[in-house]
Amino acid sequence: NGPYLTRCMVQIICSTTSMESSTIATDTNGDSEVTGAAGEHGSHERSNKRTTFEKYLDRKEGRKRLRKAHKMRKQERRRQALQSSLETTTRLPKPQIVKISDSSCKTRVVLDCAYDHMMSFKDICKLAHQISNCYSINRHLPSPVQLYVTGLGSAFKHSPQSSQGTKQRQPVVPEASSAASTSKHDTPTRPPVSKSTLSRLNLVNAENWDLFLKMEDFTELFPATSIVYLCAEAADELPDAFLPPAVNNSDGKGPKFTSDDVYVIGGLVDHNAHVGFCHLQASERGYRTARLPLDRTGIQLCGRKVLSLMHVFQALAGVLGGGLDWTTSLNAAIPPRDGNLCPPQ
C-alpha cells in the first residue's frame, strides 16, 4: 500500500498546483484587461483635449485675420475720405487779427472800473472775467474799437515800507502796444488790494493785451463834452449810424452822438443792488447819457432793461467796428435764455 499512497499524494499535489496556476492566470488576464481599457480611455480624453485646443487656436487665428482685415478696410476708407476732402475742399485762411493801432475805427469805448469798493470779491471776479471777454470780442472784430479800461487806480492803497526794508512787488499796468510811446505807469506804483479788479487782471497778464489800461478815472483822460455814459435809465437812444461831427443831419443840425465821442460803460456788477447809480453819477457830473435802442429794434426784455457790461460792449462794438445793424448786433449779444427775452406780444 505504500507505493499506492505515494501515487495518490502526488496526484493530489499536482491537481492543486494546476488549479492555483489556472487561478493566477485568470487574475492576471483580468488585470491586464482592466489596465488596457483604462489606458484606452485616457488616450481618448487626451485626443479630445488636443482637438479642442487646436479648434481654439484655429478660431483665434481666424479672429486675428478678421480684425486685421477690418483694420485695413478702415484705414483704406479713412485714406479715401481724406483724399476726397482734400480734393473737394480748400482750407479757409485764418482770420487776420487787426491791432487797435491799425484799426479804421477810432471810436473810444471805456470800461469804467472805479466801483471795486461797491462790489464783493465774487462780483469783482465776474467783472474781470467780463473784461477779458470784451477784449476777446474786440480782438476778433474786423475793425476793433479803441478799448480803454479806466479807474484801476482806485484799487491802490498807500502801503508804508516794512521795517525789514523789503521791497514789495509792484503791480504791472502798462499801456497797450498801440500807445507804446506814452509812459508805462500813469501814477506812482503802490501795492494793489489783493481783492480788486486790477489784481484779477494781473493774474491773466492783461498788461500784454492790445488795449489801454489806465490808472486814472476816465474823467481825467477825456474832455467832459465828449463823454457819453451808457445807462439803461437814459432818455436818448444811440443812433443807427455813428457819423463824424462835421456831417449834418437832414434838419441841418449835427448828430447828437458821433464817432468822436467817448462811450463809457459802467463796470458795476451789483445784481440790481444800486439801481440807477451810474445814471445818477453821470447826471451829477453833467455828462450826456444814452441807452441801447432796444425799443426801436423791437427787442423786449423781461424786467429791467439792464444788460451786463459784456453784453453792452458786444452790441456796441458790433455796430461800431463789426459793420452790423443794431437788430443783428443786439440779437447776437443778448443770450436767449429763458426769462431774458420776452415772447412777442
Q: Are residues 76 and 145 in the same domain?
A: no
Residue 63 counted as domain residue:
yes
Q: Are residues 118 and 220 in the same domain?
A: yes
Query: Residue 304 corresponds to which cell in the numbers above?
Result: 429791467
Strands 108-112 and 227-230: unpaired
Query: Residue 124 corresponds to which cell in the numbers above?
Result: 469783482
Q: Are residues 219 and 322 in the same domain?
A: yes
Residue 187 counted as domain residue:
yes
Question: What does each C-alpha distance from 37 to 23, 217, 299 come to in angstroms?
Answer: 21, 108, 98
Q: Are residues 212 and 82 in the same domain?
A: no
Q: Are residues 176 and 85 in the same domain?
A: no
pLDDT value of residue 335: 76
Examine the fold and report which residue of 90, 117, 135 is the final residue of a domain before the chain moves on: 90
Residue pLDDT, tens place only, 3-59 = 556 666 656 666 665 665 555 555 555 555 545 555 555 566 666 667 888 888 888
Query: Residue 160 corresponds to which cell in the numbers above?
Result: 508804508
Give mean pLDDT, residues 52-80.
Answer: 89
Answer for the pair 107, 100: CB distance below 8 angstroms, yes or no. Answer: no
Q: Are residues 79 and 187 in the same domain?
A: no
pLDDT value of residue 166: 36
Residue 253 counted as domain residue:
yes
Q: Supply the range of the domain harboring residue 124.
A: 108-158+168-333
Percent of the chain with pLDDT over 90: 32
Answer for the pair 312, 230: CB distance below 8 angstroms, yes or no. Answer: yes
Q: Please give the tally of structural domains in the chain.
A: 2
Between residues 59 and 86, which one has the greater pLDDT?
59
Residue 221 counted as domain residue:
yes
| Mean pLDDT score of the chain | 76
Q: What is the DSSP string of 222-259?
A: S-GGGEEEE-TT-SSBPPSS-B-TT---TTSSPPSSBT
Q: Are residues 173 and 310 in the same domain?
A: yes
Examine the fold and report which residue of 90, 119, 139 is the final residue of a domain before the chain moves on: 90
Q: Are residues 207 and 323 in the same domain?
A: yes
- Interhelix angle 309-320/326-333, rounded to 10 degrees, is 150
Residue 344 counted as domain residue:
no
Residue 99 counted as domain residue:
no
Query: Residue 278 corresponds to which cell in the numbers above?
Result: 451810474
Please give the Cα distance from 61 to 144 (Å, whole number).
64
Q: Is the pLDDT of residue 137 over 50?
A: yes
Q: Are residues 190 and 77 in the same domain?
A: no
Please give the Cα distance from 134 to 112 (Å, whole number).
13
Please give the Cα distance from 345 to 340 (Å, whole number).
15
Contacts of 274 (CB under 8 A, 6+ apart): 118, 268
Q: Would you give the DSSP letter of residue 153?
A: G
- What's the one-letter identity of residue 5? L
Q: Are residues 191 and 268 in the same domain?
A: yes
Residue 47 counted as domain residue:
no
Instruction: Tell me phi and psi for residue 226, to 5 degrees.
Output: -100, -5
Q: Are residues 186 and 214 in the same domain?
A: yes
Residue 78 counted as domain residue:
yes
Beta bridge partners of 147: 109
Q: What is the DSSP string of 6-39?
A: HHHHHHHHHHHHHHHHHHHHHHHHHHHHHHHHHH
Q: Is the pLDDT of residue 209 over 90?
A: yes
Q: Are residues 218 and 70 in the same domain?
A: no
310 band by pLDDT with thresholds 50, 70 and 90: very high
Residue pLDDT, tens place only, 244-256 = 877 655 555 657 8
Domain holding 236: CATH number? 3.40.1280.30
